[in-house]
């Protein structure tokens, strides 16, 4: 149990079977060994499965299924709108995010739809600009984690043996280190050591937050991808490719990874959501992006708990921004999973 | 037995991991904190700080400090805090127990409600219940913990007092002043923090359970059972749930392992003197004597429960149960 | 089969969250009673009208890790505010104005004598006459033997926080039990701090079997008492004070039966706990919005001004940027006029703490003695024209990007403060754009509190710093401003002069002031130091940090809040608090 999503991200938030623990458990226990039940969605996007019965292409089919998930559709629309406004704040407001408006701590009004904050800055502008950072962080973390996790997972799953063991144990080490410790260590090292500063990024910068958070999200992806790869390794087309002389790299890149696409996509969306929340928690703990010149939803919430009842707009607008965005991303992920994994819906 | 050798191999890796972690964290603590720095204040001269360093042996080589500590640790001597001279183990034990209480209660709530909600959602897929539960769980997943904790304090304590003149819950801490021990008072204090932790857990577990149940409900295995004439209720409870719970158990095992160091925000907001608070104070003091045993225990717990999860997965694999 | 994923679930979910939102929002109406009386004279205890008995629960914002008054734990204010100051006796004690007065343990003012008193060198002797009524909680009298023992304990304890003052004592003559004659090697102006003052106490000789190394003692208990209270118990989650039955000083005999202290370290939770009635009083750090939340029926609060002050500190010896523009006196002088202090007070401080005053002296506070000479920084106002003339007069010229440059170096400075501290980050947000328009570039470079105070400041890894310093009631500033206290690799970065300021004349004055017990002569020296601080534009003072005591006025009555300014904390006079009948 943990109260920060990053900690659970190591075990994924959706495709339940995608926590394929170490599958080298000996068969005395009746364990499936390398043939564990296909974790993650058996992809419809890949080219490995049996020919589908319907004449529609797999992509079309997935889109159809996605469309049926109303919440996911609504969420997609909301997210698109949100992205537009976040990228072009000028559409909604003339104020800059750090500009003093002369009106302090005013609630929502016609001049300031989201009110103003403790030093007279326009909240709407700050929420929109803050969204740029928060969304960037979310996406960047999820993608970096996906890249690292996929590489580790494919390599571990494909090669097996000692390499697999080693990689899985490294994964375990990362899973075992508490978020707290790593945060603090990584949060402080760049200020003491120049190499840490180049590697991680200057303290309080977006880059450092992305680096630190990615280290907590790749493990789940690695496990999921490894699971899929394990189930696909023995399939005929892989054997065939090998027989034809394809290199390992080619097999991994051309055949295995694309078949994981479904699982990867779903996990990425869920990680985006988790990363946004974790960024806000980090700011609450005092480790986030520095706020003097860079608003993020997380650091806008920092230090304003005292106003929850007296100037609630300070808390609710960034708070709701987080909640709604994360909600929509989660729904989107749910819709994607439904679209890509038909087994989870009762078929007609 | 292959299983035994497997377990032993994993435990071997565990020891290695713990050792590696201890070295890394020791280095990090030494690099980023300075116990003598807690002495900053008016009236404290440079020579006072120097003398303080000498008194506490802080200038001895790092390697020497680490090996001394490790040597003591291996013989079971956890030593005394560098700052307060209090023996480490009793306070650490208390912190473990405090976090365990909170974690276990939250876990119990999570599992019970998560499984129930997930099962019903699956059985009545697309019903209003399913939709409401889905909506609620996604919202639960989307609220940052500290925000939710704050809300609970405001609504369940302050607002209840306004509306009803009183409240059975408390904003913080483990016991009312003067009370101690695990009784009704403690349980009343546990409600808010446990709910804060559980709200996300329920969201996740109910989604898991739902997905797992749907999987099972659609399986051939169940169709066979139904065709045989087994009552629907029996089908659901005896067969479907049992099978659906399997992947959940492995996930739950990992979750339990993460309890010890996982309740950072909750312990801070609700003033719960558990493991997270213990670590933060120790780190602030630069007190590696307190930080390292804490780390050993946390890492060990995570590894052990991951191992349990792996073993469970092997034991409970549904393929054995088919037929 | 219908497959409706209607919007129903979204509606339900959304209305759930809206309900939560609605419940949590909303105004509290109630009348506000706020006295902004900051520290008056110590209240007389008119106990005639107050009822006796009952229990009080106090919330502590930080929790002492142990109660030892000599070693590390003593460096934390709350060790004193929560426990030690209520239990352990002092010889000279501070009133809320920062004056040293004889405590109930003494019989009259101590006598200063010896050649050193006048001419600044030579022996210097203090004679303390002890009150014959003064007894420990077991009834045994407090004697000069205790005074002597205490000196030896402070000197002999491993890991003692500071020996300032103690290591200048030549001897303590305890031949007469009612009189302690203390001989110093040199005159020592801060003599009031020994056995009392801000953070020192008088300890009981008989409690330790002759041991003088007390590093392993008084960890979770104080085995004796010479104050109004006895420490009944102390644990990481609770401490209990009960009245000292043997206490001889009528004015401070407690009215209630029991005071329980509990930690509530999260600021928001602290406020909620007070509002919920789980604690009866709090003494919190001022935080944004806190006053608005406490403007409700049944809660009273009082403002004070503490000995902590904040401003922009210039590190001339920055190792982060060894060629820092701060080395140029013109740059520092220009910065004084480039920052709009009035705006900071108006926008950041006064909305929450209406009485916050601008601080106009460089190392002291006006509420403690006469040391603060406001004329030092009074003339420093926001003056863009002056900034330009000072900089350009020193050879700086604006570059194409609008930032001043000289000899290829841009006037760009990094600015460090505590990350996540809303007040400070707001100040940065206000100042940075404004200053940029004047041609000075400030770049934020914040760290968490531990890193900033434990690592960066001591290692001179800062340039412009925004943080708070404590003005000890004693006006010495040598530790933070004298040349020998600059942290360097040679002294293992042990000093606290984070300003890297080395002015020989000022340092000399500091040493002389530290050795001048005569208050008038000392005052003159301190004012001269203040002038030099201004002359060298060493730092820019902003304000004294407000202090704040809040309590449940439905439940408690008495002179609550009168010790808000006191070095001993807002709870110090809890002996005069009682339950409302």
Establish if B27 belongs to a structural domain. no
Question: Residue length, chain C?
Answer: 581
Average pLDDT of the residues of chain B: 85
ipTM: 0.85
**Residue C130 per-residue DSSP state:** B
Establish if C332 belongs to a structural domain. yes
Establish if C8 belongs to a structural domain. no
Q: Which of C75, C262, C457 faces B177 most closely, judged by CB atoms?
A: C262
Q: Are the C-beta atoms of C185 and C123 separated by less than 8 Å?
A: yes
Over 80: is that where the pLDDT of A41 sits? Answer: no
Q: Which of C163, C193, C265 faces B48 most closely, judged by CB atoms?
A: C163
Name chain A contacts of B314, Cβ cutoff 8 Å. Answer: 25-26, 29-31
State the average pLDDT over residues A37-48.
31
In chain B, what percentage of residues exceed pLDDT 90?
22
State the average pLDDT over residues A275-304.
82
How many angstroms separate the CA of residue A258 from the nearest CA in chain B? 24
State the average pLDDT over residues C394-411.
93
Greatest Cα pair distance, chain C, in angstroms, is 105
Please name the residues between 177 and 206 in chain A that touch chain B, using a CB distance below 8 Å: 177-181, 184-185, 188-189, 192-193
The 3-state secondary structure of C78-107, one letter per residue: HHHHHHHHHHCCCCEEECCCCCEEECCCEC
The least confident of B207-221, C218-232, C416-430 is B207-221
Establish if C237 belongs to a structural domain. no
Q: Are the C-beta atoms of C454 and C494 separated by less than 8 Å?
A: no
Please name the residues between 110 and 149 in chain A that touch chain B, using a CB distance below 8 Å: none
Q: φ, ψ for residue C272 (rounded to 5)?
A: -65, -35
DSSP string, C121-132: SS-EEEEEEBPT
Q: Which of A71, A188, A290 faces C444 most closely, judged by CB atoms?
A: A290
Alpha helix (H) residue ranges in A160-205: 161-176, 179-192, 194-200
The least confident of A17-31, A303-317, A331-345 is A17-31
Pick from C59, C75, C159, C497 the residue to mutate for testing the B interface (most B CBs within 10 Å). Answer: C159
Beta partners for residue C309, in sequence order: C469, C544
State the average pLDDT over residues B274-302.
89
Q: Which of A3, A64, A77 is nearest to A331 (CA)?
A: A77
CATH number of the domain within which B128 lies = 1.10.3720.10
Q: Is the dihedral of CA A66, A69, A71, A77 positive or negative?
A: positive
Interface contact flag, C72 B84, Cβ < 8 Å: yes
Establish if C114 belongs to a structural domain. no
pLDDT band at A192 (very low <50, low <70, confident <90, very high): low
Distance CA B59, CA B70 (A): 18
Name chain B contacts of C158, Cβ cutoff 8 Å. Answer: 55-56
Establish if B166 belongs to a structural domain. yes
Interface contact flag, C20 B85, Cβ < 8 Å: no
Q: Are the C-beta atoms of A228 and A263 separated by less than 8 Å?
A: yes
Q: Are the C-beta atoms of C580 and C557 separated by less than 8 Å?
A: yes
Pick from B14, B25, B135, B141 the residue to mutate for testing the A interface (most A CBs within 10 Å). Answer: B141
According to DSSP, the β-strands at C412-417 and C441-444 are: parallel
Interface contact flag, C162 B43, Cβ < 8 Å: yes
Domain count across chain B: 1
Interface contact flag, A69 C449, Cβ < 8 Å: no
Q: Which of B144, B276, B306 faces A172 most closely, judged by CB atoms?
A: B306
Q: Are the C-beta atoms of C130 and C123 separated by less than 8 Å?
A: no
B-chain residue closest to A285, CA distance: B265
Establish if C409 belongs to a structural domain. yes
Rg (Cα) of chain C, in Å, rounded?
Answer: 26
Establish if C517 belongs to a structural domain. yes
What is the separation of C-alpha C105 from the centre of its chain, rounded to a whole number of angstroms? 25
Q: Which of C338, C288, C330, C286 is nearest to C312 (CA)?
A: C338
State the average pLDDT over residues C3-19.
43
Q: Which 3 state secondary structure label does DSSP give C216? A: coil
Distance CA C127, CA C181 (A): 4
pLDDT for C15 equals 46
Pick from C234, C457, C494 the residue to mutate for testing the B interface (most B CBs within 10 Å). Answer: C494
Interchain CB contact of A98 with C (< 8 Å)? yes
Q: What angle do CA C336, C340, C344 make, to 5 degrees?
A: 125
State the average pLDDT over residues B163-185.
88
- Taking only the tens place, the pLDDT of each residue in C42-86 is 444 455 678 899 999 999 999 999 999 999 899 889 999 999 999
pLDDT for C341 equals 96
Please name the residues between 142 and 161 in chain B that touch chain C, using a CB distance below 8 Å: 143, 150-151, 153-155, 157-159, 161
Establish if B285 belongs to a structural domain. yes
Domain with C406, as residue range(s), is: 306-545
Establish if B178 belongs to a structural domain. yes
Beta partners for residue C358, in sequence order: C543
pLDDT for A5 equals 56
Q: Which of C293, C278, C289, C352 is nearest to C30 (CA)?
A: C293
- Taking only the tens place, the pLDDT of each residue in B61-82 is 888 889 989 999 999 899 888 8
How many angstroms separate the CA of residue C408 from the nearest CA in chain A? 25
How many angstroms separate the CA of residue C430 from the nearest CA in chain A? 7
Establish if B54 belongs to a structural domain. no
Task: Please list, in sequence order, all residues whose beta carbon lies within 8 angstroms of the beta carbon of residue C330, skipping any fewer than 6 positions away.
Answer: C390, C391, C393, C394, C396
Establish if B199 belongs to a structural domain. yes
Distance CA B250, CA B105 (A): 19
- Label residue B75 exposed, middle or buried (CB < 10 Å: 0-12, 13-18, 19+): exposed
Name chain A contacts of C26, Cβ cutoff 8 Å. Answer: 309
pLDDT for B32 equals 76
Identify which has the larger pLDDT, B237 or A272.
A272
Distance CA C383, CA C398 (A): 17
Q: Are the C-beta atoms of C263 and C78 separated by less than 8 Å?
A: no
Name chain C contacts of A302, Cβ cutoff 8 Å. Answer: 420, 422
Establish if C465 belongs to a structural domain. yes
Over 70: is that where the pLDDT of A11 sits? Answer: no
pLDDT for C508 equals 95
Distance CA C273, CA C292 (A): 16
Interface contact flag, B196 A7, Cβ < 8 Å: no
Q: Which of A20, A181, A319 faces B147 most closely, judged by CB atoms?
A: A319
pLDDT for A31 equals 26
Over 70: is that where the pLDDT of C205 sits? Answer: yes
Q: Are the C-beta atoms of C67 and C221 separated by less than 8 Å?
A: yes
Establish if B131 belongs to a structural domain. yes
State the average pLDDT over residues A232-237.
74
Establish if B31 belongs to a structural domain. no
Distance CA C243, CA A292 (A): 49
Interface contact flag, A2 B207, Cβ < 8 Å: no
HSE-up of residue A149 (Cα within 13 Å, Cβ side): 35
How many angstroms separate the CA of residue A239 from the nearest CA in chain C? 41
Distance CA A137, CA C485 (A): 43
Distance CA C438, CA C402 (A): 8
Q: What Cα–Cα distance (Å) separates residue C2 from each residue in A68, A342, B123, B125, C127? A: 11, 17, 15, 11, 96
Average pLDDT of the residues of chain A: 76
Distance CA A177, CA B24 (A): 11
For residues B88-115, one letter each, b for 16 or more C-beta atoms within 10 angstroms of the residue's C-beta and e for the rest, the string is beebbebbbebbbbbbebbbebbbebbb
CATH number of the domain within which C458 lies = 3.10.105.10
Distance CA C129, CA C109 (A): 8
Domain with B135, as residue range(s), is: 2-14+87-321
Domain count across chain C: 1
Interchain CB contact of C420 with A (< 8 Å)? yes
Name chain A contacts of B141, Cβ cutoff 8 Å. Answer: 5, 13, 273, 326-327, 330
How many angstroms separate the CA of residue B42 from the nearest CA in chain A? 26
Q: φ, ψ for residue C448 (rounded to 5)?
A: -70, 160
Interface contact flag, B39 C236, Cβ < 8 Å: no
Please name the residues between 18 and 57 in chain A that touch chain C, using a CB distance below 8 Å: none
Alpha helix (H) residue ranges in B143-241: 145-152, 160-164, 184-217, 220-227, 232-234
Q: Are the C-beta atoms of A348 and C1 separated by less than 8 Å?
A: yes
Q: Which of A286, A302, A323 faces C448 most closely, judged by CB atoms?
A: A286
- Taking only the tens place, the pLDDT of each residue in C468-516 is 998 888 899 999 999 999 999 888 888 899 999 999 999 999 999 998 8
pLDDT for C435 equals 95
- Taking only the tens place, the pLDDT of each residue in C378-401 is 999 999 999 999 999 999 999 999
Establish if C417 belongs to a structural domain. yes
Over 60: is that where the pLDDT of A18 sits? Answer: no
A-chain residue closest to B215, CA distance: A344
Please name the residues between 84 and 113 in chain B that touch chain C, using a CB distance below 8 Å: 84-86, 91, 94
According to DSSP, the β-strands at C412-417 and C229-235 are: unpaired
Task: Please list, in sequence order, all residues whose beta carbon lies within 8 angstroms of the beta carbon of residue A185, skipping any fewer than 6 positions away.
Answer: B24, B25, B28, B32
Over 80: is that where the pLDDT of C183 sits? Answer: yes
Over 60: is that where the pLDDT of C106 sits? Answer: yes
Distance CA B122, CA B214 (A): 6
């Amino acid at each position: 149990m943990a109260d920060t999503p990053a900690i659970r991200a190591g075990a994924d938030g959706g495709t339940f079977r995608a926590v394929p623990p170490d599958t080298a458990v000996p068969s005395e226990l009746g364990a499936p060994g390398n043939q564990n039940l296909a974790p993650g969605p058996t992809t419809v996007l890949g080219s490995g499965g049996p020919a589908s019965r319907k004449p529609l292409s797999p992509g079309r089919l997935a889109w159809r299924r996605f469309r049926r998930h109303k919440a996911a559709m609504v969420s997609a629309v909301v997210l698109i709108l949100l992205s537009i406004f976040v990228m072009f704040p000028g559409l909604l407001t003339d104020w800059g995010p750090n500009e003093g408006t002369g009106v302090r701590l005013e609630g929502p009004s016609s001049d300031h739809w989201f009110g103003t904050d403790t030093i007279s800055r326009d909240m709407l502008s700050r929420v929109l600009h803050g969204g740029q950072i928060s969304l960037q962080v979310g996406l960047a973390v999820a993608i970096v984690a996906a890249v690292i996790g996929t590489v580790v997972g494919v390599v571990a799953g494909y090669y097996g043996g000692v390499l697999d063991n080693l990689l899985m144990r490294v994964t375990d080490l990362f899973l075992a280190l508490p978020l707290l410790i790593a945060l603090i260590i990584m949060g402080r090292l760049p200020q003491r050591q120049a190499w840490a500063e180049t590697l991680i990024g200057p303290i309080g910068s977006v880059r450092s937050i992305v680096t630190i958070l990615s280290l907590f999200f790749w493990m789940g992806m690695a496990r999921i991808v490894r699971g899929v790869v394990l189930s696909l390794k023995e399939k005929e087309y892989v054997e065939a490719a090998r027989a034809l002389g394809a290199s390992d790299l080619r097999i991994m890149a051309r055949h295995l990874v694309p078949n994981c696409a479904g699982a990867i996509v779903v996990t990425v969306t869920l990680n985006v959501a988790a990363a946004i929340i974790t960024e806000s928690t980090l700011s609450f703990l005092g480790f986030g992006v520095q706020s003097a010149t860079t608003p993020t939803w997380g650091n806008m919430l920092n230090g304003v708990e005292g106003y929850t009842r007296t100037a609630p707009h300070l808390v609710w607008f960034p708070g709701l921004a987080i909640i709604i965005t994360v909600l929509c991303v989660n729904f989107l992920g749910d819709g994607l999973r439904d679209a890509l994994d038909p087994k989870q819906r009762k078929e007609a | 037995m292959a299983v035994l050798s497997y377990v032993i191999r994993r435990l071997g890796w565990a020891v290695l991991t713990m050792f590696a972690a201890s070295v890394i964290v020791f280095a990090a603590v030494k690099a980023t904190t300075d116990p003598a720095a807690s002495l900053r204040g008016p009236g404290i001269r440079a020579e006072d700080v120097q003398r303080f360093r000498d008194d506490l042996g802080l200038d001895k080589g790092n390697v020497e400090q680490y090996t001394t500590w490790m040597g003591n640790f291996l013989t079971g001597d956890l030593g005394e805090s560098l700052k307060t001279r209090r023996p480490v183990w009793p306070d650490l034990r208390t912190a473990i127990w405090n976090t365990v209480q909170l974690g276990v209660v939250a876990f119990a709530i999570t599992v019970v409600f998560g499984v129930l909600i997930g099962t019903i959602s699956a059985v009545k897929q697309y019903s209003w219940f399913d939709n409401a539960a889905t909506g609620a769980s996604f919202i639960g997943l989307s609220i940052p913990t500290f925000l939710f904790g704050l809300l609970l304090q405001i609504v369940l304590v302050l607002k209840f007092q306004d509306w009803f003149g009183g409240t059975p819950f408390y904003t913080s801490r483990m016991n009312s002043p003067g009370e101690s021990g695990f009784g009704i008072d403690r349980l009343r204090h546990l409600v808010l923090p446990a709910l804060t932790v559980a709200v996300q857990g329920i969201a996740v577990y109910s989604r898991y359970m739902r997905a797992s149940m749907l999987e099972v409900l659609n399986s051939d295995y169940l169709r066979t059972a139904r065709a045989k004439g087994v009552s629907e209720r029996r089908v659901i409870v005896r067969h479907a749930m049992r099978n659906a719970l399997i992947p959940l158990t492995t996930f739950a095992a990992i979750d339990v392992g993460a309890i010890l160091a996982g309740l950072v925000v909750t312990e801070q907001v609700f003033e719960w003197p558990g493991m997270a608070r213990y670590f933060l104070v120790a780190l602030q003091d630069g007190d590696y004597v307190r930080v390292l045993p804490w780390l050993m225990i946390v890492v060990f717990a995570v590894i052990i429960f991951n191992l349990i999860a792996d073993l469970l997965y092997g034991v409970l694999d549904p393929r054995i149960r088919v037929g | 089969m219908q497959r409706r994923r209607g919007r129903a679930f979204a509606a339900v979910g959304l209305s759930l969250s809206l309900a939560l939102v609605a419940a949590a929002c909303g105004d509290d109406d109630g009348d506000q009673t706020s006295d902004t009386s900051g520290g008056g004279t110590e209240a007389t205890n008119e106990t005639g009208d107050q009822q006796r008995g009952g229990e009080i629960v106090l919330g502590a914002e930080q929790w002492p890790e142990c109660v030892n008054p000599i070693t590390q734990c003593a460096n934390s204010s709350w060790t004193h505010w929560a426990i030690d100051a209520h239990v352990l006796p002092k010889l000279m004690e501070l009133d809320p104005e920062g004056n040293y007065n004889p405590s109930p343990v003494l019989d009259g003012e101590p006598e200063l004598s010896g050649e050193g008193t006048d001419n600044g060198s030579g022996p210097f002797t203090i004679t303390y006459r002890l009150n014959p009524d003064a007894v420990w909680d077991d009834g045994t009298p407090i004697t000069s033997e205790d005074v002597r023992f205490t000196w030896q304990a402070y000197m002999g304890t491993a890991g003692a926080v500071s020996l300032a003052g103690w290591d200048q004592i030549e001897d303590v003559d305890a031949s007469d039990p009612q009189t302690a004659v203390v001989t110093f090697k040199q005159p020592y102006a801060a003599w009031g701090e020994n056995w009392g003052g801000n953070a020192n106490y008088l300890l009981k000789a008989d409690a330790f079997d002759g041991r003088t190394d007390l590093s392993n003692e008084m960890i979770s208990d104080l085995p004796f008492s010479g104050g109004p209270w006895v420490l009944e118990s102390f644990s990481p989650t609770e401490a209990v004070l009960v009245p000292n039955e043997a206490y001889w000083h009528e004015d401070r005999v407690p009215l209630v039966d029991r005071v329980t202290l509990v930690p509530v370290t999260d600021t928001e939770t602290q406020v909620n706990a007070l509002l919920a009635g789980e604690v009866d009083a709090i003494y919190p750090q001022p935080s944004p919005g806190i006053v608005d939340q406490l403007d409700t029926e049944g809660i009273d609060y009082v403002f004070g001004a503490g000995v902590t002050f904040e401003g922009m500190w210039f590190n001339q010896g920055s190792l982060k940027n060894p060629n820092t523009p701060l080395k140029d006196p013109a740059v520092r002088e220009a910065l004084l006029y480039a920052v709009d202090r009035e705006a900071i007070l108006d926008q950041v401080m006064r909305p929450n703490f209406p009485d916050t005053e601008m601080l106009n002296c460089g190392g002291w506070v006006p509420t403690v003695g006469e040391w603060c000479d406001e004329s030092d920084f009074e003339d420093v106002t926001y003056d863009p024209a002056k900034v330009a003339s000072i900089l350009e007069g020193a050879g700086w010229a604006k570059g194409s990007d609008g930032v001043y440059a000289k000899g290829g170096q841009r006037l760009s400075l990094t600015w460090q403060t505590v990350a996540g501290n809303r007040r400070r980050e707001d100040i940065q947000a206000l100042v940075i754009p404004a200053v940029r328009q004047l041609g000075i570039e400030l770049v934020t470079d914040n760290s968490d509190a531990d890193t900033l105070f434990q690592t960066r400041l001591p290692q001179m890894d800062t340039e412009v710093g925004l943080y708070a310093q404590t003005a000890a009631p004693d006006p010495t500033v040598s530790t933070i401003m004298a040349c020998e206290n600059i942290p360097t690799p040679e002294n293992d970065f042990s000093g606290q002069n984070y300003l890297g300021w080395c002015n020989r004349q000022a340092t000399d004055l500091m040493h002389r002031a530290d050795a001048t017990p005569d208050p008038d002569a000392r005052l003159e020296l301190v004012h001269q130091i203040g002038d030099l601080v201004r002359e060298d534009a060493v730092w820019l003072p902003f304000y004294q940090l407000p202090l704040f005591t809040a309590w449940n006025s439905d439940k408690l009555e008495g002179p609550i809040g009168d010790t808000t300014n006191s070095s001993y904390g807002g709870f110090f006079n809890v002996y005069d608090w009682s339950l409302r009948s």
